[in-house]
Chain A
Amino acid sequence: MLSLWLGAYDQGLAYAGLALGTYLTLRVLNFPDLTVDGSFALGGGTAAMLISQGTPVPLALGLAILFGCLAGLVTGLIHTRLGVNDLFAGILTTTGLYSITLRLMGRSNIPLPETPAGIQALPDLGLGLDGRWAVGLTLAMLGLILLISLLMATDVGLALRALGDNPTMARANGINQRRGLTVGIAAANGLVALAGALVALYQGFADVTMGIGSLILGLGMVIIGESVLRPRSVPWALLAVALGAILFRTMIAIALQLGLEPVDLKLATALLLLVALAFGRLRIPGLSDHGRLEQ
């Protein structure tokens, strides 16, 4: 039973980057970004391809983040420079990314049988390999949350938050909306690609289809985290979102334990989110449309 909880904890932390990226686009920038489905697989595929060819894991993770940022940059430019609708810009990029990821990987699935040396060097806390992963991922996520919290407290972070909060006012105060949105979307997709790479490393393989439904997963994690902690500041919100990722994976582990077929997982996740959207617990730009219905 302990391995079930520990596995869910590890997976939740591996997925936390996805939740943080979703939080950054949806909650901070107020931008519904569907690129995450593509950038998650891109991150996993890039890391798997590089590691399988002998590239050191830190470098592979760095390049996965860079590629994710580039994917977000493309969506940002399509939206801000070409004036394409936000949802459609993300769909366009994600569609293109499928081919790019497949080209990068060379095949649809790459196995990663070996645990990274960096993880093996960590203390296992008497819990075996999952314990080592828990230590490594906890340290990595805490560092990441600290870094994002600091960045969000700078003038650039303040500008990004202002853009999501009130773009008219942000522009009236000298903030370049095009550049800000593009930078924010790129950074968010870098986080999502990192999550894809960590998940590939943890589960021991990358698959070109591993990104399908990532936005919904990320949303679920954000909702759960915000419902539990009800954060009132950015650092707390980031912690809440990471906690949401762990709780979400725990719920999935419990559901599987109770007999839910793995093939039904995405349907269950979609239904959970539908209930949240329908009852107004979740307000997402472009996805919740109560205002239009009320007219």
Chain B
Amino acid sequence: MNPMAPGLSAPGLSVEDLSWGHTLPGSGWRQLFRSFSLTCPRGQFLVLIGSNGSGKSTLLNLVAGTLPAASGRIHLGGRPLHRLRDHQRARWIGRVMQNPLEGTCPGLTVAENLRLAERRHRPAFLAGGALLGALGGLHPDGADRRRYRELLGDLGLPLADRLDEPVGQLSGGQRQTLSLVMATLGSPDLLLLDEHTAALDPRAEATVIELTNRLIRQLGTTALMVTHSLEQALGHGDRLVMLHDGRPIGDWSAAEREALDPPSLRAMYGAATVKEAPCTVHDGSPAP
């Protein structure tokens, strides 16, 4: 297996010797990651698949800094992310949550949400000496609005006409679309997508996944997408990694993935997901 896609060699995301565990209610300590390492070259679109509890979303949380790692190093473009807190890492990381309600501020308008995301890349937002600087000017102003209208219009999104509506009034699909646009504003070095289409209906899912592909290709950003959908895992990204119990049990480049036999991958995923239920034969009686 060769995880490196052709032409991708610059330093992107590097996770080394990561350890993390947690207490399970009623059943003691569970060490999920032990000396876990993963390298993702710059510009690579990596898809993570695995069963519930395999550590996919936890890995994203550890990279984003919303969960503190017990030990290990995380570098992004050579920068030691593991030394920074989550809001500091946000300067370089765009993130789309699984739940459309989590990725946006429902009480703020579409334009205000976009303004927040746009400011993410400015250093030390609401910190130290930048506090007074951040007070300068009222936002989002007319120029901000024109810019957002153009951006959303260029992406073909109807949200361009709803800039002044509270985000809480948008549908789940629209909120997730907005969340994706916010996460990619300013071309982040890393895009984290945590089952971001799981809560959407098929039509909204298709729209969001198409926009995801388009934005990642346009920006050339490194991306980690967690999914439970084998269809998405087989149809998107430059590389596919399957996790089980905090360990990679499969790692395929796009070319290798093409050669994979979907039923065997499905079987591998199924085996890692749950213990197989008893098979039934066509007459309805249980298999031996």
Contacts and interface: CB of A to CB of B under 8 A. Distances in A.
Contacts of A151: 135
A155 interface: yes
B64 A172 contact: yes
- Which bucket holds chain B's interface residue count? 35 or more
Nearest to B140: A158
Interface in B74-126: 86-88, 90-91, 93, 95, 97, 102-108, 112, 115-117, 119-122, 125-126
B171 interface: no
Interface in A151-203: 151, 153-156, 158-159, 161-162, 164-166, 168-177, 179-180, 183
Contact of A155 (B90, B107, B108, B139): B139
A256 interface: no
A158 B108 CA distance: 9
Given A155-B135, A156-B135, A168-B97, A173 B66 contact: no
Nearest to A180: B126
Given A165-B105, A166-B105, A176-B87, A154 B134 contact: yes
Contact of B125 (A168, A169, A172, A176): A176
A171 B65 CA distance: 10
Contact of B91 (A155, A168, A174, A177): A174
Most interface-central of A165, A169, A176, A183 (chain B CB within 10 A): A169
A276 interface: no
Q: Chain A contact residues: over half helix, strand or loop, or mixed?
A: helix
Contact of B106 (A166, A173, A177, A183): A166
Contact of B107 (A156, A165, A183): A165
Nearest to B96: A172
B131 interface: yes
B90 A172 contact: yes
A173 B119 contact: yes
Given A159-B125, A165-B106, A170 B116 contact: yes
Contacts, number: 99
A225 to B, nearest CB: 18
Contact of B102 (A150, A166, A174, A180): A166
The bracket for how many chain A residues form the interface is 20 to 34
B105 A175 contact: no
B167 to A, nearest CB: 9
B90 A173 contact: yes
Given A153-B138, A159-B126, A169 B104 contact: yes
Residue among B107, B126, B137 with the highest chain A CB neighbour number at 10 A = B126
B54 to A, nearest CB: 22
A170 B116 CA distance: 8
Contacts of A161: 105, 107-108, 112
B279 interface: no
B126 A176 contact: yes
12 contacts: A151-B135, A153-B139, A155-B119, A155-B126, A161-B112, A168-B66, A172-B90, A172-B97, A173-B116, A174-B90, A174-B120, A175-B116
Interface of B: 64, 66, 86-88, 90-91, 93, 95, 97, 102-108, 112, 115-117, 119-122, 125-127, 131, 134-139, 182
Given A155-B134, A162-B116, A168-B102, 7 more contacts: A153-B139, A158-B116, A159-B125, A161-B105, A173-B90, A173-B119, A173-B182
